[in-house]
Amino acid sequence: MIWSVILLSLILAGIAIQLKAKLKRLRAENRELKILDTENKEQLHSQKFNCLDAFPEVILVVNKSLQLVYIHPLAQLLFSQSEWSAEKLVDIKQTLIEGKVGIGIKEVILVSEFMQWIEEQIQQEVEHCEKDFVLSAQASSWLKSEGADGETAWLLRVAKLPEYLMKQEDYYLVHIHEKTEDWRLQQTRQDFIAHASHELKTPLTILLGYLEILTENGSNYGVNKQGKELLDTAYQQGEKLQLLTQQMLNLSKFESSKESMLTIEDIKIKDIFEQVQKDLQSLIKKQDVKLSFTTEGNITKNITIKGDNFYWQQIIYNLFENALKQNKTGALKIELNVKEEDEHLIISVIDNGVGISSMDVPYIFNRFYSVDKNYTGTKLRGAGLGLSIVKRALLAHNAHIEVESIPGERTAFMIYLDNKFKATKED
């Protein structure tokens, strides 16, 4: 019996020694895994920034205190070459990779307009935001390359980085994109349209005046029946050219205007609707169209918005005219609807016409774009500026427009108003 106990004790002792040895090995392996995990995290952290290095434009990453976490190598192209050399940027990057945060973004971005906007977005903890900047020649001296002169144009973006990338605290990516060349090209194009339209307006008015006299009193000037038909065609084309000129002038005005140039007043949507009905009366009667003004929820028909009356007349007029011209047959119904949804006031122009192809939708707000592809010389069509004017006028009001269309069933242009221009509700 004693020998059995001794034998059992020896067996248990052997098992205990083996377990202790295995536990020791497991602890050693665990320490090695922790070391490898730390090394992998450091390598991942470095590679994460290497991925950003491959981006072809300037990127900065900052924390909520506006301290740099990352700076892109191309930043040297934006700043004074003497102060921000390539060698210094490499030193800064290495310091940041080692986790020694402390360099403020204000030491890098020396343009006050940029810094003020970036600081505001980070303080407000925005998820994503972007803004265009046009800097004076003096302000651009901090950012432009040596060969650039005069004003420069920039697009800035601020975006909050996902938690799985940066787990310690909130980090923000700042993207700086120069668009001076595109901006100058756009300015040149706008100036040309504005000047050409202005110069064409007077001679066109004179020509149309003479054509109208000849058309109405052709017999007094020896014009026969065939000549009158030719004059009618010339007058019709002249009117089209005059309308195109006026639309280009309106578009030029909208593009050059800033929010501060708007004449802000209280506008009743019902008054705009009634005026548009009056202005389009001939088309409405000709096509036997049914127009209606509706509201939803607690919005009444006396709804009042704040904005520029001229702009809003242009917006609603062009949307209704577009619906009428694109739907010349069938029992057409056009509805102006106002509702409130998710703290937005939505003003919609809805019709039950032919609709818009999904292939055309992305381009319909481009200048001179026409959905009607079946154009012939004997058929007049719009210049493709109406919707472009609508978009520009809405941008002046910090509003935006979206389109939904089911071909053959329904098309809806929906305007989303910014809080600043939002409506007041009256009984």
Number of C-beta neighbours around residue 74 at 10 A: 15
Confidence (pLDDT) at 350: 92
Confidence (pLDDT) at 86: 58
**pTM more than 0.75:** no
Confidence (pLDDT) at 134: 85
Per the CB < 8 A criterion, the answer to whether 90 and 70 are in contact is: no
Fold of 262-427: Heat Shock Protein 90 (3.30.565)
Element (H, E) at 46: helix 2-53
| Domain spans in the chain, listed from the N-terminal domain onward | 55-177, 179-256, 262-427
d(CA 196, CA 43): 60
Residue 392 tokens, joined: 């520009």
d(CA 385, CA 368): 5
> In DSSP terms, which residues pair with 62 in a beta bridge?
68, 172
Low-confidence residues in the chain, pLDDT < 70: 1, 3-14, 16, 32-51, 75-102, 142-149, 163-169, 221, 247, 250-251, 253-261, 329-330, 368, 370-384, 418-427
d(CA 153, CA 197): 26
Confidence (pLDDT) at 394: 87
d(CA 172, CA 70): 10
Fold of 179-256: Helix Hairpins (1.10.287)
Is CATH 3.30.450.20 what the domain over 55-177 is classified as, yes or no? yes
Number of C-beta neighbours around residue 312 at 10 A: 23
Confidence (pLDDT) at 167: 58
Confidence (pLDDT) at 83: 53
